[in-house]
Amino acid sequence: MAQDPLFIAIMLLCLGVVVILALGLGSFAKGGKDSSVRSNKMMRLRIIVQACAVVLILILVAIRGGGGN
C-alpha cells in the first residue's frame, strides 16, 4: 500500500495539513493585525488541503472496496 500513488498523495496532503495548521497557529500566537490576516489565510488554505485529503481518502476506500464484505 505504501507504494500506491494515491496513498502517497494522501500522506503528503495530511502532512501539508499539519504544517499549515502549525504555521497558522504560530501566526495567530504572534498577535497583531497583520498576523491575524495571515492566520486567517493559512486556516482557509488548511481547510482546502484537508478537503482534498478527505476526498482522496474516500476515493481510495471506494477503489479498495472498504465495505468489509
Any domain includes 46? yes
In tens, the pLDDT along 21-68 reads 998 888 878 877 778 788 888 889 999 999 999 999 999 999 888 666
**Mean residue pLDDT across the chain:** 87
Rounded Cα gap, residues 40 and 44, in angstroms: 6
For every residue of 20-62, DSSP letters joined together read: HHHHHHHHHHH-SHHHHHHHHHHHHHHHHHHHHHHHHHHHHHH
Q: In the chain, how many domains are there?
A: 1
Any domain includes 8? no
18-24 long-range contacts (CB < 8 A, ≥24 apart) are 20/45, 20/46, 20/49, 21/46
Query: Is the pLDDT confidence value at 69 over 90?
Result: no
Cell of residue 46, nine digits:
488548511
Q: Please give the pLDDT value at position 27.
A: 81
Any domain includes 68? no
Domain hosting 55: range is 20-59
